[in-house]
Structure 1
């Protein structure tokens, strides 16, 4: 009996949960769905999960649900709102590009890299968190 109690205390430190921050931009239904699943799996495993959600596409705001109770929504940066109009035009065009020229898709996707970079930088200076 005492030996079992000793093993319980010995292994107790290995079963503690972690505090995990999941960064999930509200942009693109498929991306949101995957990151929601990650957050839910971690929550189900007993971890303390906080879902950090900068809003990019406000149309996606009420379309997703998660089991995680700690969700932080952050309004988009002004520069992101300006660029969103350009990205909407570009996104529709991206999937109709000629697949024989993958370099064209790579060149066009650099706009997305800059867009998400702007969003990410603006969130690092957000002091209210």
Structure 2
């Protein structure tokens, strides 16, 4: 009896999860980090899809190398605003706190606009809903991921 239970425990096959990773257009390092998470989970046998609003087309290769991708093309004007030169995120000459707050507010407003565009695209959202994902993964800074998970009825979020 014990050996049968041991054999069953050894032979137990875990079912893979369907995982949606939200990769926000926050910058190359963020895209690369979320892409690596997606790739590790894909290699571990899970069914992983990455949704990414494309704000910097030249960096799309960082989204994921192995997982499925749903790339949501942003309007050209929005892409221009996401260019690091226009955001002035790392501008060492903007040392005052008021300038930093203004930059953060502008960046937050841009993320809200991107989220409105994505959540308003019925075709993309329906594509994601039909997948019936088990788990959603996003960054805390990428608040749109939580909205995507909500409309896709994903209840387990990391």
- Specify the SS of the correspondent of 1:108: helix
CA distance in 2, matches of 1:108, 1:32: 21
Point out 4+ residue stretches in structure 1 off by more than 6 angstroms. none
CA distance in 1, matches of 2:38, 2:16: 14
User: Does residue 97 of structure 1 match 2:93?
Assistant: yes
Decide whether the 8 Å contact of 1:51 with 1:71 is kept in 2: yes
Decide whether the 8 Å contact of 1:21 with 1:52 is kept in 2: yes
Q: Counterparts in 2 of 1:75-114, with a 5 A limit?
A: 75-76=73-74, 78=75, 81-88=76-83, 90-92=86-88, 94-99=90-95, 101-114=96-109
Decide whether the 8 Å contact of 1:55 with 1:74 is kept in 2: yes
User: What is residue 126 of structure 1 aligned with on the other side?
Assistant: 121
Q: CA deviation at 1:64?
A: 5.7
Structure 2 length-normalised TM: 0.62
Q: Which runs of 5+ in 2 are unaligned?
A: 128-158
| Count of residue correspondences | 121
- Specify the SS of the correspondent of 2:88: helix
User: What is residue 41 of structure 2 aligned with on the other side?
Assistant: 42
What per-residue deviation string (whole Å, max 9, x for no partner) do you get for residues 39-94 of structure 1?
A: 112112221100112111223235665122x1111111x4xx33443454532375
Single out whichever of 84-93 and 30-39 deviates more from structure 2: 84-93
RMSD: 2.7
Quick check: which has more Rg, 1 or 2? 1
Q: CA deviation at 1:21?
A: 0.6
User: What is residue 54 of structure 1 aligned with on the other side?
Assistant: 53
Q: Given the superposition, is the C-alpha separation of residues 119 and 103 from structure 1 closer, same or farther in structure 2, using an over 3 Å criterion? A: same
Structure 1 length-normalised TM: 0.73
Considering Cα pairs closer than 8 Å and 6+ residues apart, tell me whether 1 or 2 has the greater RCO: 2
User: What is residue 2 of structure 1 aligned with on the other side?
Assistant: 4
CA distance in 2, matches of 1:86, 1:22: 24
